[in-house]
């Protein structure tokens, strides 16, 4: 049985969604953020030294980092991996790593700056154009195909869900990018996604 150490309003929601899509049995260990700092509680350090979420425990095998967990689950579940064609496989690999490597950093910077009075607001004006470059690129790609890697949903779509939900909430993703908004609506309508929301508890971005 896989145990998911799940922090509220966090990237670990993607892992629950993936487990639901794969039909793998799991249990959820829920953690609440510190209300003042919004950081993860110290109890998570007992699971993994970094004290971050998500972390899974698969019968004693501890796996941390969302991308690493996703790849682990693709191998375990035998589905949602790269398409068979070379172009699709290259797109899959790109988006799988792009989600955390390129898209999340400016979104996190904007979140931090939003909490800094005066100077933070000034700095955010410089960050948003950087985010817009990413959002325009994503829009152009989703206008070409229904899912990030091709005609079928893959783990790359699961990885991309959190940053795009965050962008929809606080970083300018709106109806001016209809292909991306349609993709998000499609994701949110999936039965496995809905089951994951019910299992995970509070999640602000759905």
Task: Show contacts of 103-111: CB within 8 Å, 24+ apart.
Answer: 103/134, 103/138, 103/160, 103/163, 103/167, 104/162, 104/163, 104/166, 106/130, 106/131, 106/134, 107/131, 107/163, 107/166, 107/167, 107/170, 107/171, 110/170, 110/171, 111/166, 111/170
SS3 state at 1: coil
Residue whose entry in the numeric block shows the structure tokens 């893959």? 154
Q: Are residues 181 and 97 in the same domain?
A: yes
Structural domain contains residue 154: yes
Residue 120 confidence (pLDDT): 67
44-81 per-residue burial string, b: 16 or more CB within 10 A, e: under 16:
beebbeebbbbbbbbeeeebbbbbebbbbbbeebeebb
Q: Are residues 123 and 171 in the same domain?
A: yes
Residue 115 confidence (pLDDT): 74
Structural domain contains residue 205: no
CATH, residue 110: 1.20.1050.10
Q: Are residues 90 and 185 in the same domain?
A: yes
Residue 157 confidence (pLDDT): 98
Number of domains in the chain: 2
Q: Are residues 71 and 126 in the same domain?
A: no
Structural domain contains residue 33: yes
Residue 117 confidence (pLDDT): 73
Residue 19 confidence (pLDDT): 98
Q: Are residues 76 and 105 in the same domain?
A: no
Q: Are residues 71 and 95 in the same domain?
A: no
Q: Are residues 176 and 102 in the same domain?
A: yes
Residue 119 confidence (pLDDT): 65
Structural domain contains residue 206: no
Q: Are residues 156 and 111 in the same domain?
A: yes
Q: Are residues 127 and 37 in the same domain?
A: no
Residues in the chain, pLDDT under 50: none
Structural domain contains residue 168: yes
Domain span holding position 109: 86-190
Structural domain contains residue 42: yes
SS3 state at 127: helix
Q: Are residues 95 and 175 in the same domain?
A: yes
Q: Are residues 53 and 41 in the same domain?
A: yes
CATH, residue 53: 3.40.30.10
Q: Are residues 47 and 140 in the same domain?
A: no
Structural domain contains residue 35: yes
Contact 151, 132 (CB under 8 A): no
Structural domain contains residue 176: yes
């Amino acid at each position: 049985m896989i145990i998911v150490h799940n922090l509220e309003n966090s990237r670990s929601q993607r892992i629950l969604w993936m487990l639901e899509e794969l039909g793998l049995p799991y249990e959820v260990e829920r953690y609440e953020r510190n209300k003042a700092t919004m950081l993860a509680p110290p109890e998570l350090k007992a699971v993994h030294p970094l004290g971050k979420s998500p972390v899974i425990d698969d019968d004693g095998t501890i796996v941390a980092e969302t991308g690493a967990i996703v790849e682990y689950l693709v191998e375990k579940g035998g589905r949602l991996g790269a398409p068979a064609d070379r172009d699709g496989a290259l797109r899959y690999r790109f988006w799988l790593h792009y989600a955390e490597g390129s898209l999340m950093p400016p979104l996190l910077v904007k979140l931090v700056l939003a909490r800094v009075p005066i100077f933070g607001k000034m700095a955010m004006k410089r960050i948003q154009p950087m985010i817009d470059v990413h959002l325009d690129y994503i829009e152009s790609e989703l206008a070409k195909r229904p899912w990030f890697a091709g005609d079928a949903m893959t783990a790359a779509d699961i990885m991309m869900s959190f940053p795009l939900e965050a962008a929809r909430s606080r970083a300018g993703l709106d109806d001016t990018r209809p292909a991306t908004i349609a993709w998000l609506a499609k994701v949110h309508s999936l039965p496995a996604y809905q089951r994951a929301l019910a299992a995970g508890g509070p999640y602000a971005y759905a």
